[in-house]
Amino acid sequence: MRKLLQSCVILSLCLTGVASAGGHEKFVSYEVNGKAFQAYVAQPASAPKGKVFIVHDWDGLTDYEKKRADMLAELGYQAIALDLFGVGAKLEGFEDYRREAGALYGNRAEFRARLNAAISAASATFDADLKEILIGYCFGGAAVLEAARAGLDLDGFVSFHGGLGTPEGQDYSATTGPVLLLHGSADPVSGMDDLAAVLNQLQEANIPHGAEIFGGARHSFTIEGSRDYDQAAEQGSWNAFMRFLKDNIGS
């Protein structure tokens, strides 16, 4: 990690351990302008190969993202599941999810400030010299692209079935690393026209990029138990992500 965007947030850090089978899991607690946040950290058993930040879906930081972090730790990566909504956010159903996600979509400066603060907190606490990749699912995938457009100084960006729309006035000219888009061809939220638009924008900005399309997969194809879950697309997207890590962090 090198340098993140300057922002007006007030940031304080606290590292706390939690019980786990391997003893390697921790939380990073921090504040942004008086609002409390907490990121989940899964540490590998040996020296980490690199660092992966994970942005949650619109239902907040849940066991899903923690499971993905644990999977990455087992593979030798330091994995941090970020919190963009705050520990006090009410997240009990659809209306709550829409409120929290909508507030950030409607205030892009705050969206970027929270991304910047979350990554800064983890980077300041753990192995600052490691290469760093940002990934996200659904809302988190859209957050990944927001971070890329914001110019957060990371080594790569991966969106799993994320929202692909580019807000007016934004572009990818400040993006610092390669971008990988993992998307379903039947996604009703961001369709193939949206995907083509992002790829064209990345090409125009001369940013290394790629996409893998999963035929017939809908929006939340990696979320087991959802109506859109697609096992083949989930495994295929994970394999593509593993190749991206190898290419941009190393084995």
Closest CA to 10 of 31, 39, 38: 31
- Rounded Cα gap, residues 99 and 84, in angstroms: 13
pTM: 0.91
Q: What is the pLDDT along the chain (251 residues), one digit of tens a residue?
A: 444 544 434 444 455 543 333 445 589 998 887 889 999 999 999 999 999 999 999 999 999 999 999 999 999 999 999 999 999 999 999 999 999 999 999 999 999 999 999 999 888 777 668 999 999 999 999 999 999 999 999 999 999 999 999 999 999 999 999 999 999 999 999 999 999 999 999 999 999 999 999 999 999 999 998 999 999 999 999 999 999 999 999 76
Longest dimension (CA), the chain: 48
- Supply the pLDDT for residue 122: 85
- Supply the pLDDT for residue 251: 63
What CATH number does the domain located at 11-248 have? Answer: 3.40.50.1820
- Supply the pLDDT for residue 124: 78
Q: Calculate helix-pair angle for 94-105, 139-150, nearest 10 degrees.
A: 10
- Supply the pLDDT for residue 3: 47
The strand pair at 35-42 and 51-55 is best described as unpaired
- Supply the pLDDT for residue 8: 39
- Supply the pLDDT for residue 31: 86
User: What are the Cα distances from residue 40, in Å, to 64, 107, 182, 199, 210?
Assistant: 12, 25, 24, 32, 29
Token readout for 239 is 């394999």
Please, are residues 177 and 156 in contact by the beta-carbon 8 Å criterion? yes
- Supply the pLDDT for residue 25: 56
